[in-house]
Amino acid sequence: MEKTADPLRCDTVTGACTIPGHDSVAHGDHRTDPAHTTKPITLLYFTDPICSSCWGTEPQLRRLKAEYGDAIDIQYHMGGLLPSWDVYNSGGISKPSDVAGHWDEVSPHYRMPILGDVWLEDPLPSSYPPSIAFKAAELQDHTKALIFLRRMREQVLVEKKNITKWPVIAEAAIFAQLDTARLHADFTGAANALFQADLTLARSLGVRGFPTFIFSNAAGERQQVYGARPYAQFEAAVKAMKPDAQAKPLPVSLSDLFKVHSSWCAEEVAVALGITHEQALQQLKHLQANGKLISVDTRNGSVWRGK
């Protein structure tokens, strides 16, 4: 597959959505957030709410948190994948409708539900508003902010909702039990500066696309995982940073998984439980038939949620 520099044409070879004009990832000094961490490994995760490759790596990220979350301080940084369509007016993707077909194409590659219809029905003008909204959510509560980000991804990638619109953002905020009034105040206030700081950090580290995972330890050693990669690469990065890191036991059942997160896709279940995609799908459908789960179904797959 020929590589491309279109920001929304995510390369299934590299497993990343690239920023035009950035051809390599810098290997300079690692920089961390000023916040103090006592965990032996710091992970800078550069992502974007509309990044299909980031959605494609959710299964690996969820397993990483389950097995090594006690050893890793994961810091989320928004990347600004789509400033506006005025910036991207040439190349393979030059208008929203170009993204629609591409999203449908990459869905089976990642085995995650991705529906491109939003780019035809209610196209997003930019990925900046949901990125800023995430930074606003972090000002309230980091855990709730991650639930909020997950919900926005489901809204845009699966449910065809325009996550640049405040009512849609507010819906995700309510789901995450955030204070929507405060979120709006921070969204129009302090959060933009935090988002700009994320963009500056990404540029300083030479981040050229998403997802980018930069692991580091107190000794200044560093490992990078670029794009949606097999879980073994994430685990290898952890071991390189802390050779004696021990994986916690993985959940053994679907009910255990739904105690950790409120929604799951079949591929996420497969990676988390160490089973095949088909086995995961069978188990999810079985619980749904027993009235324990509901699903949002698309032509490219489903998201399952506990009742």
Asked if 112 contacts 60 with a C-beta cutoff of 8 angstroms, the reply is: no
Please report which helix (H) or strand (E) contains residue 75, including its range.
Answer: strand 72-78
User: What is the pLDDT of the chain when averaged over all its residues?
Assistant: 90
**What integer is the mean pLDDT of 48-54?**
97
What DSSP letter does each residue of 193-218 carry, written as one string? HHHHHHHHHHHHTT--EESEEEEEET
Q: Which residue has the tokens 């606003």?
A: 136
Taking every pair of C-alpha atoms in the chain, what is the biggest distance, in angstroms?
53
Structure confidence at residue 8 (pLDDT): 63
Please state, in angstroms and rounded to a whole number, the distance separating the CA atoms of residues 121 and 129: 19
Q: Which residue has the tokens 């439980």?
A: 273
**What integer is the mean pLDDT of 34-54?**
87
| Cα three-residue angle 99-163-45, rounded to 5 degrees | 80
**What integer is the mean pLDDT of 249-256?**
94
In degrees and rounded to multiples of 5, residue 21 shows phi and psi of: 90, 0
Q: Comparing 4-18, 36-50, 58-72, 209-223, which segment has the lowest mean pLDDT?
A: 4-18
So where are the chain's domains? 17-209, 254-306
Q: Is the pLDDT reported for residue 23 higher than 70?
A: no
User: pTM of this prediction?
Assistant: 0.90
Half-sphere exposure of 68 (CA within 13 A, CB side): 28
25 confidence band (pLDDT: 50, 70, 90)? very low
Cβ neighbours, 10 Å, residue 8? 23
- Single-letter code of the amino acid located at 61: L
- For 254-306, the fitting CATH number among 3.40.50.1980, 3.30.300.30, 3.40.640.10, 1.10.10.10 is 1.10.10.10
Please state, in angstroms and rounded to a whole number, the distance separating the CA atoms of residues 246 and 225: 20
Structure confidence at residue 12 (pLDDT): 66
11 confidence band (pLDDT: 50, 70, 90)? low
20 burial type by CB count under 10 A (0-12 exposed, 13-18 middle, 19+ buried):
middle
DSSP 8-class letter at 39: S
Q: Is the pLDDT reported for residue 91 higher than 50?
A: yes
- Percent of the chain residues topping a pLDDT of 70: 87
Tell me: the pLDDT tens digits for 138-189? Answer: 999 999 999 999 999 999 999 999 999 999 999 999 999 999 999 999 999 9
Structure confidence at residue 93 (pLDDT): 79
- Percent of the chain residues topping a pLDDT of 90: 83
Q: Could you tell me which residues come within 8 angstroms of residue 228 by beta carbon, excluding any fewer than 6 positions away? A: 15, 16, 53, 54, 56, 57, 60, 110, 211
31 confidence band (pLDDT: 50, 70, 90)? very low
Half-sphere exposure of 133 (CA within 13 A, CB side): 34
Please state, in angstroms and rounded to a whole number, the distance separating the CA atoms of residues 286 and 290: 6
- For 17-209, the fitting CATH number among 3.40.30.10, 3.30.930.10, 3.20.20.140, 3.30.9.10 is 3.40.30.10
232: which 2 tokens? 């073994």
